[in-house]
Amino acid sequence: MSPRVAILGGTSAIAVAVARRYADRKARLVLVGRDLAALEREQADLLVRGAEQVVLQQADFADLAALPEAAQAAWTAFGGLDLTLVAYGSLPEQAECAASAEAAAAALALNFNSPALLLGELANRFEAQRAGVIAAISSVAGDRGRQSNYVYGAAKGGLQRFLEGLRHRLHPAGVAVLDIRPGFVSTPMTAHLPQGGPLWATPEKVAGDILAAIDRRKAVLYTPWFWRFILLIVRSLPRPIFHRSKL
Ligand SMILES: NC(=O)c1ccc[n+]([C@@H]2O[C@H](COP(=O)([O-])OP(=O)(O)OC[C@H]3O[C@@H](n4cnc5c(N)ncnc54)[C@H](OP(=O)(O)O)[C@@H]3O)[C@@H](O)[C@H]2O)c1
């Protein structure tokens, strides 16, 4: 049977690269996002690439009250799911979040509350099904609070803890939970940053790592691999040294 895959945040550049790989595997895909025109272009592309079926659903993930309905629609499109990937998010300006509680609240809600609530809805269904993989993109930014992006980092760190707890809960049901922690990836989200150099990866490279981690039912993925070691160092820097850095 072709795999049933729901991608929440279907227009994310990383998600598009993942979806293309599942199209190669003749998957049935549910793409959920707010930009229907972009989703339709992606749907046409994925069908040409070999996807068996591509169903579209419109949702604004900042609308927390609408999440239960979005989860239900994604779950029922093919009568259950083998994989769900949560791939949406925003990269807020730290200075703006420090100056405005409204900006901080929006960033925290989209990057933590929303995926946590959505995954909570889906987790109950995966648990009852007793099979499948839940994957979500957090970030290396969640590994240690840093002056340059601690609101985003706190939301992603919270998501990491949520996924850890979900993994613990769903283990007896045979459901795997994957926490994906990319470093710098060249996507629209990072288009305003100076790019290039060995630390930057393409969405295609990250997508390859994500599929391999899903296939192996891994718990935590740093992608590309070297971020595991960079973050090991960042996390273990003694505070007096860390405080002298501008990380
Ligand atoms: N790029 C990096 O360096 C990097 C590093 C670590 C982690 N990440 C994480 O990777 C994930 C994917 O990001 P990306 O790099 O692929 O960036 P991206 O291409 O800019 O994707 C961001 C996605 O979030 C969606 N989105 C934002 N707000 C939304 C809302 N209210 N409702 C529905 N969808 C919404 C966007 O939809 P629209 O197309 O409608 O705008 C887009 O699909 C994010 O969680 C991000 O935090 C990225």
Instruction: Give 18-62 pLDDT, tens digit per residue.
Output: 999 999 999 999 999 999 999 999 999 999 999 999 999 999 999
**Nearest protein CA to atom 27 of ligand 1, as residue:** 89
Active site residues: 152
Instruction: For 165-202, give one letter per residue: b (16+ CB within 10 A) or e.
Output: ebbeebeeeebbbbbbbbbbbbbeeeeeeeeeeeebbe
Neighbours of 208 (CB within 10 A): 16
Domains of the chain: 4-242 (3.40.50.720)
Given the CA of residue 185, which atom of ligand 1 is nearest to it?
A: 3
pLDDT at 9: 98
Q: Which residues have any ligand 1 atom within 6 Å of their CB? A: 9, 11-14, 33-35, 38, 60-62, 87-90, 110, 137, 139, 182, 184-185, 187-190
Q: What φ, ψ does residue 33 adopt, rounded to 5°?
A: -170, 180
Q: What is the mean pLDDT of residues 128-145?
A: 98
**Integer distance in angstroms from the first to the last C-alpha of the chain?**
47
Given the CA of residue 141, which atom of ligand 1 is nearest to it?
A: 6
Mapped onto helix, strand or coil, the DSSP state of residue 119 is helix
Considering only CA atoms, which of 166, 34, 60, 182 is closest in space to residue 114? 60
Q: What is the mean pLDDT of residues 156-164?
A: 98
**Nearest protein CA to atom 45 of ligand 1, as residue:** 89
Q: Is the pLDDT of residue 1 over 90?
A: no
**Nearest protein CA to atom 22 of ligand 1, as residue:** 12
Tell me: the pLDDT tens digits for 179-238? 999 999 999 999 999 999 999 999 999 999 999 999 999 999 999 999 999 999 999 999
Considering only CA atoms, which of 185, 162, 224, 218 is closest in space to residue 15? 185
Considering only CA atoms, which of 179, 141, 184 is closest in space to residue 160? 179
Considering only CA atoms, which of 149, 69, 143, 61 is closest in space to residue 109? 61
Considering only CA atoms, which of 81, 177, 62 is closest in space to residue 125? 81
Tell me: the pLDDT tens digits for 65-104? 999 999 999 999 999 999 999 999 999 999 999 999 999 9
Considering only CA atoms, which of 66, 151, 79 is closest in space to residue 117? 66
Given the CA of residue 86, which atom of ligand 1 is nearest to it?
A: 45
